[in-house]
Chains A and B, each alone.
Chain A
Amino acid sequence: MPDLSPVSIARPTGTRVSRVLGIASLVGIVWLVVFGLFLSPNDATQKAGVRILYIHVPSAWLAYLAFIVTGISSAAYLFKRTRSLTWDRIAGASAEVGVLFMGVTLVSGSLWGRISWGIYWTWDSRLTTTAFLFVTYIGYLAVRGLGGTHQQRARRSAIIALLATLEVPLVHFSVKWWRPLHQQESVAEGKLNGLMLFTLFVGIIAFTLLYVWLVLHRQRVLAMEDALDDQGLDTALAERRAEGAQI
């Protein structure tokens, strides 16, 4: 654990690397806005509605990436040789960002579905699995808030994260068998022209940079919160001891 004396707690969570990352993701998002809203052409059938793609696909990618990172960090925490609270904080930070972007995915997806399919929701296996993932990780975040020592929180939430990871394929396949529908992909790979594909690519890069930046900061904030907890406990103990010494 890094040195977290009172002085360093007052330190901001940014470092040179994260500042560069932050600027890069900001540039990426401006770039995405310019390409997504102005330079990329309208779709033949969906007109401007196709532009939701540039938010929807990157945020879905990011949410899945975030949950994979949560799963790997949780496994790394449980594995004795790599056990460190840093892994636990990365898992927590990543899950928070993941839940946020999974929400963005679901909202943008249902708006897009309304435009292209005429309905907000369909019980397709991919949609249903995504919705379940969303709820499951909200539960995971609730487990993180259960209290106890940092180690208890880390172990408990790591186990829940691994169980959730095992659960995802089960949900996916059961829903797939339940409703063997084919998703009518309104934007097939081939139908995207070069500029659209490039814009999507910009979106994925920009969102990935944003993800790394958010997780870095959030993880540092979590580390500071933990340090503050520990420090509060130490202070309280010292005060009680001092009281005892006076008598």
Chain B
Amino acid sequence: MSTWRIARLIAAKDLRIELRSRVVTNQVLPFAALVMVMFAFALDNDNVLTRVAPGLVWLATMFSMLVLVQRSFAVESADGALDALQVAGVRPAGIFLGKSMALAAQLAVLEVVLLLAAIVLYQAEVAWSGAVLLVTTFVAATTGLAFVGTLYGGLAAGAKGRETLLPLLMLPVVAPVLIGATRATEAAFGTNGASSSEGWPWIGLLALFAALFGTGGTLAFGSLIDE
């Protein structure tokens, strides 16, 4: 079986579990929306909220992503499913790509909800001229985040104290995505008078990040989950 086919099967399996268990829709999405409301309480000023809306969208994405990654590997380690996959001779690169794809799909749903929340709650305005940039930013950032999440989630899976280890490992790593995606989204929104052409260099950074961790994860995932 080709690595690509394994990846698609694993992604389909993960998404099927999520569709049936509804943990993402019933718990993670409400949590993300709650975070957006809490930001509004903390930054109690409409002008401030509109100005920092792009950053808050990405910050909320990253916090919610921690929950998604925990969840993604909780289903694997619960019944030793990850070990079973390896014993069955499934290539780790396939597992990595498959779980990344499933995580990216869940992140995409999450980001759309957060973006809508920013538009509704923070009066963020999306100009049509920035739409292409916005979509590209979301695709590039989501890819990078999904790779990093799967890589470090796999490492922390099965370890004791993984709930506390994962944020410590993952948040410093995704910092460039937070900076890059925030700047690019600001350019797409036109926040603080930024023009959409200012956003494109950041897409380069996001793409480089995704390529780096995609390659690293595909090569190293087997060694990281090996127990």
Contacts and interface: CB of A to CB of B under 8 A. Distances in A.
Contact of B168 (A139, A159, A170): A139
A170 B208 contact: yes
B155 interface: yes
Interface of A is mostly: helix
A244 interface: no
Contacts of B79: none
Residue with the highest number of chain B CB atoms closer than 10 Å, among A138, A146, A166, A173: A146
Interface in A137-166: 138-139, 142-143, 146-148, 152, 155-156, 159-160, 162-163, 166
Contacts of A177: 179, 183, 201-202, 205
A147 B160 contact: yes
A138 B175 CA distance: 16
B173 A167 contact: yes
Contacts of A146: 159, 165
Contacts of B183: 177-178
A132 B178 CA distance: 14
B26 interface: no
Interface residues of B, number: 27
A197 to B, nearest CB: 35
A175 B179 CA distance: 8
A166 B205 contact: no
B154 to A, nearest CB: 10
Nearest to B160: A147
B83 to A, nearest CB: 13
B173 A152 contact: no
Interface stretch (B15-23, B188-196, B218-226): B218-226
Interface in B142-189: 151, 155, 159-160, 165, 168-169, 172-173, 175-176, 179-180, 183
B162 to A, nearest CB: 9
A146 B162 CA distance: 9
A104 interface: no
B159 A170 contact: no
Contact of A159 (B165, B212, B224): B224
B175 A166 contact: no
Which one of A148, A160, A162 has the highest number of Cβ atoms from chain B below 10 Å of its Cβ?
A: A160
Contacts of A163: 151, 173, 213, 216, 220
Contact of B172 (A135, A143, A159): A135
B73 interface: no
B160 A159 contact: no
B205 A173 contact: yes
Nearest to A148: B227
A142 B166 CA distance: 10
Given A138-B168, A152-B226, A170 B220 contact: no
Given A163-B216, A166-B212, A174-B179, 12 more contacts: A132-B175, A135-B172, A136-B172, A139-B165, A156-B155, A156-B224, A159-B224, A163-B151, A174-B176, A174-B180, A177-B179, A178-B179
21 contacts: A132-B172, A135-B168, A142-B169, A143-B165, A148-B227, A152-B227, A162-B216, A163-B173, A163-B220, A167-B172, A170-B176, A170-B205, A170-B212, A171-B172, A171-B175, A173-B205, A174-B175, A174-B205, A177-B205, A178-B179, A178-B183
Interface of A: 132, 135-136, 138-139, 142-143, 146-148, 152, 155-156, 159-160, 162-163, 166-167, 170-171, 173-175, 177-178
Pairs A-B, 3 closest by C-beta atoms:
A174-B176, A139-B169, A174-B179
